[in-house]
């Protein structure tokens, strides 16, 4: 259950961070869209964790990748916000799958 709240709160944070004055336009739309999707997925994850966990994990991966796209990230703070929130989304999203019994395949 902590994963659902974590993803939901991180989604809200991303939506709010989109409107901070130091964010460029590309970052505004990226954070806003990812934040809304993560927030909805996180707060609906309380009952079922399958698609929401995968969605949060994939959005986390996207935020980490997007942190290194210069057209989206104009400031170092935006980059670190994307990396940190991305890692947290991955941990909470994929962690929800593990706690629900959906095992992520591990390579040896």
Cβ atoms of 16 and 54 closer than 8 Å: no
108 found inside a domain: no
Residues of the chain with pLDDT under 70: 1, 21-26, 46-49, 73-74, 99-108
107 found inside a domain: no
What confidence score (pLDDT) does residue 47 get?
A: 66
31 found inside a domain: yes
Residue numbers of the domain that contains 9 = 2-100
Total-model pTM: 0.73
Which phi and psi angles does 24 have, rounded to 5°? -75, 170
Question: How many domains are contained in the chain?
Answer: 1
**b/e 45-81 (16+ beta carbons within 10 angstroms → b):** beeebeebbbbbbebbbebbebbeeeebbeeeebbeb
Tokens at residue 39, please? 């927030």
């Amino acid at each position: 259950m902590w994963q659902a709240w974590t993803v939901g709160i991180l989604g809200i944070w991303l939506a709010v961070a989109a409107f901070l004055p130091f964010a460029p336009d590309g970052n505004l739309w990226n954070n806003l869209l990812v934040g809304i999707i993560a927030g909805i997925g996180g707060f609906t994850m309380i009952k079922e964790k399958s698609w929401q966990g995968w969605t949060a994990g994939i959005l986390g991966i996207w935020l980490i990748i997007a942190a290194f796209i210069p057209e989206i990230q104009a400031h170092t703070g935006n980059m670190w916000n994307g990396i940190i929130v991305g890692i947290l989304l991955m941990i909470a999203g994929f962690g929800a799958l593990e706690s629900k019994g959906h095992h992520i395949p591990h390579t040896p």
